[in-house]
Each structure stands twice: as structure tokens, then as C-alpha cells.
Structure 1
Amino acid sequence: MAEAGAHLTSSTGGEQPSIFELLAQESLMEAVKPALRHAVKVLAESNPSCFGFLWRRFDEFYLLLDVLLQNHFLSNCSASFSENFYGLKRLAKGKGPGLHGKTRWRSLLLLCLLPYLRAKLEATFARQREEEDFSIRLAQSRVQKLYRAAVAVYPYVNSAWRAWIFCQQLLFVFGTVRTHHPLLWLAGVRLARLTERDIRDMEANKSKTGIMAGDSTVQRLRWLTSQVARGLAVSLSTSLSLGVFFLQFLEWWYSSDNQAAANSLTSLPAPPPPLHLHTEDSAGDGMHCPLCRKLRVNAAALSTSGFVFCYRCIFAFVKANRRCPISGYPTELQHLIKIYSPDS
């Protein structure tokens, strides 16, 4: 029995990686994104005017970095960043070494674009659930209703996708299939361990890049652009390689239940009093909404800044901008606190 399952944990001999190596390289990038998100959030809280847009567009910012990083490693190492970090490579089915043409572009799309779209769907699903929790329904058109219906179906599709992944990994453990993840099967590749020859070939490819004396201006410009992109990807990959364990620790620390106080009123500095909001018709009464400038209806406060607004006004603003309209602090819908007067 032990001899039959020895290949599952073996780290020496053969090109077939163990299931534990494959799961470890997957968890690497899954830990990097939350840790980088927290770093961007700290920057946005320290200086909302300069870094607030990074927090509001974090998914697009991360997608750009991910495309540069993964494209560099797929082109030069025939593997993603995390796969190369664990000494793995991608082999195209029925083809020679390396990734070429459609196989490389398909791998890049499945590595970067699909997780981006999935993150957007999960964020949309979370917002729809928050609307239900807050018992608020904004005006909706027919297209928006269809959009809500599609979002409602997403949890079932996600459950089916996770079941597919589990079955694929189970079949890989028993040796029935050669890929442990559906994305690898869709990309038409499988994972194998790097050999000494692979490492020598990668070093040789790095020394071949350059421009010749007879190259045209377009070729020189294309080479310069590729070198800039390569340098950015190398610097990014080097910094991630050096700080990956710190990022994993940071992600674990801030996802711990002990950090529940991060959403409390003391997690951000208190903003200055809204003296600039006092106008002739609202000065002194404190009953007007800073957004619509009318008497507040269904008052709600933001726990991140302490300002009070109309519930519908602040709900729509936070949903669209994910920040406080007065202080600029990063804000989510769960930071809204409804205020009930004793008379109501």
C-alpha cells in the first residue's frame, strides 16, 4: 500500500510533481493578492488623495501587474510565477518543450483574466447580498434585473466549478489524469519538474536577447519596449520572490479573527470637523445631509469617518466609489450604521 502511494509525496526522481507541490504553488498566488490588497489599503488610508484610486481600482491594478509578471515567466520559463518558484514547468500536449503561439496566450488568459472576472463576480454577488441585508432596492431597469438574475445563479455555478476541481484532483491522485486542475486541461498543458537542462536553456536564452546593427527603427523600438516590460517584470518578480513569505505572513495576520478591531472607529484617525460644510441654511442645526444638502431622511453614519448622511444618499455613493465623500477614507457598505431616534 505504501509503495503504491509513494509517488504522491516523493520530491525526487521523475518529472511528475506530487499533489502537495501542486497545491503549494496554487496557494502562493492566493496569498499574495490579499496581502498586496492590505498594503494598498494602508497607503490609501494614509494618503487618500494620492493613493485612493489604487484602492478603488485595485482589481485592475493587480490585473496589470499579474499580466506583466505571468507573461514574462510564460515566455522565458514556460511556467507561471508560482510554478517556476516551486521548480515546475508547463508542457504542451503533443508538442516539444516550451510554450508557443496559442498555447502561451491561452495559458496567460486563464491565469490572469479568468481570476479577474471571477473576483468581479464575487464582489457583485457580495454587493447584491448586502443590498438584501440593508433592505434597500435602488431603481432597476430590465437589463439590471437580468443582471441580478445572473448574479443569483453564480453561487450554483461556483459550487459546480469547485466540485469539478475536487474531482480532477482526486483523479490525479489516483493516476487517472495527468493534470490536477481544470484550467491546465483547458490550456492544453500539464506540469512537470524543471531539469538541469531546462535551467541551462533559460540562462542561454537570457544572453541571446539584443539588437543587431541592421535592425530597423521599428525593430529597435519593439526591442526597447520588450526590454522595459522585461525589466519591470523581473523587478516585480524579484521583489515578490524576496517578500513572498512576508506577504503570506501579512495575509494570515490580517485575516485572523484577532484583527476584527480593524473595522472599528479607532482603526482610522478622526477627520477634522466639517466646518466647510456649514452654509446659511444648514449652519448650527446639524440635520442636513452633506450630499444632497437637504434635511436627512433615514440617517446613517459611516464608522470610518463619523459623518452622518441620508441612508439612500450614502448607500449609493459608497457602493459606487467605496470611500467616504468627506474624508476620502476607504469605506465599504458594512461600515454604514443606521441611526434610529427614540421618536421613530
Structure 2
Amino acid sequence: MDCSWIPLAIGILFRCRISEDKSRTTVSLCAKVFIWVVLFVVVVTLVSVYTVSHMQINLPSFHSATRSNVRDMLMEIQVRNTTVLSPRPDACEACFSHNFKYVIDNDVMCKLYNDSQEIDLIIFIFTTHQHQQERNAIRQTWLNCTNINKANIRYSFLLGEVSDENIRKLVEDENKIHNDIIKEDFVDTYQNLTYKTIMAFKYAITKCSHAKFVLKTDDDVWVNIPGLLKVLQREKMTLQTAVAGACFHGANPNRNPDSKWYASIQSYPHDSYPGFCSGTGYVTSNNVVNKIFEISKNVPFFHLEDVYVAMCIRKLGYRLHKIAGFNNIRPPFDPCLYKGDNLITSHEVPPEMLISYWNTTCTR
């Protein structure tokens, strides 16, 4: 505790004059003010000492973290196509303009390496900057069939923007090694996943238009690629006018403000959704992706991306198609199940589990 102010305080106190009245001795106004100031300083000092000693706060780090949090808060205030002053309408006229710019753009991801080559599928994987371990685990396991984006299956990890320069730099360095990241300048938050979806669809129709099918998934999902290819072959006609996966035809908005999936009355005034195919993994044709991208300009923004896609599907007169094997949960692990024809996706599979599953063989 720094007590260097005490001698100065004593000197000032003695300089304050004590005046005498006939009946009593009074402390001058100077002394009174000074005493209150001293008491205040003592209290503040004691509180500071207690905070530092008992809560073990590193003040420089605390101030730095505070500044970073303020920046993040300011970025998250970004209101772009999302301001809702009245209940969200079901349709609009060119109200949702996806006018963000690429920060990282890998044109080579859909490059054809010979005249006879085709791209059967492009996979868009939603991730965050901090999830490098998840991305590496996926690259080492179920993405190995892509042959580093040179086979008939291609993929990309999708990101928005963040304020932290250090993690931005790490992602830039990662992309220089793998060349498999797409990033635009919208703020990368859960509330902005619809922007990420539209970014994926825009990329599919402008830079990978020769791909036949599109899969959207997350970085904590196991995808059984051989099983998925069989589904695409079987459902190829259906997918020209449908989105397929773990689809639900009846769902109600969550009105609990504490929920991850909260939707206010203003953002969605209806009592039920038009259904949705879980964003943990859904597949469709590039034809449908093209139509969704175009119709989205007239469908007001909604923050739950899989519900938003269903809104566009309903507007187009297309349908949601439930396919067995797409799971928005994690079924108990059985290598013969996970590598057979009856499971396509499994959700909430962390990196170490993903690698373990991949290295376990079916013995029956």
C-alpha cells in the first residue's frame, strides 16, 4: 500500500487555521474539507488493496480486456438490414441486400484440373476464428476425400470479421497453408449466421456454379461422405426443388430471452415457423441455392439461419425433405453405424472424439 501521501496530508492539516470563538473552538472550513478528502482517499485505497489481493486482477490486462470488450460491443451493435422497429413483415421489396466484401477469397477452391473433371459437391463449414483445432481435426478425417480441394468434392470454412487482431492474423496464416477459408466483413456472431449462409450461397453460384450439390454444416459435426454421396445419387431429382436433412415441419418460436434460439415478437410475429432443416447439416442442389440467393433479397432478415432458409423455400414454393441419417444430435458411437449407409451426420463431436471415431474400424 502506497502511504507516501500521509506526510503531505499532515503538513496541509497543520497549515489549516483553527479559529476560536468565545464559547468554542471550531475547525476551519479548510480543515473540514481536507479531513473528508483524506477519509475518501483511505476508503478508496482500502477497497483497491482488497480487490487486487483477493480477486487477483492484473490491472493492465484488465484494462486491455475492457478495451477489447468495448470494441467487440461496438462491432456487435452493427445494424445492417436487421433493425426492427415494427413487427417483421413476411416479404419486402429489395430490403435484404447482402453487400459485404470478401476479406479472404479463395477462387482456387473450385478450380477444375482437367477437362473431364466434375464437382459433385461443395461443403460449407461454419466455424469461428478460435476453432483451429476443430478445423484441423476435420481436415485430417472426413475431409480427406477432397484431396486438398482437388477431387470431385470441395469444401470451405466460413468466417465473418472480428476485432481481435491477433486471432485475425492466426486465421490469415492458417489460410496461407490450406487455402480453404472464405471470409467477409460482417461481424462474426451467432446473430449474424444468416449473413454467413448467404455468403456461402453467393460463393456457390458465382465461383462454384459447376458444383451439382451444396452441403451446409458446422465444425462440430461428423459427416459420412460415402453415405452422403449415395443419398445425393438417390435424391438428385428431389433436391432440384427441396432442401434435405434433419428437417422439422412444425416448430414454434422460442420466446425465452435467455435462450440461444430466442426470437422476439418483433423479429417474428407469428406463432409457428415454416419448419426448418437443422443447420447442423442440410443439403440441396446448386439450382435451389441460386433460387434462394435471389429470393432472399425480398425476404426480410431473420437471425436463425436454418429458419431463414426455410422461409425462402416456402416463398419459392419448394419443400423441406427429411432424410433418415441426418442427425442434429450425436447417436451413440458404433463404427459400423458411423461408417455405414444409415448415418450421414452426427452433431456435437469434439475434435479428439472425431479423430478417435475416424481411427476406429468396423469389425463385423
Which structure has the highest helix share of the two?
Answer: 1
Range into which the TM-score falls when normalised by the shorter chain: under 0.3
TM-score of the aligned structures, taking structure 2 as reference length: 0.21
Which structure has the highest strand share of the two?
Answer: 2
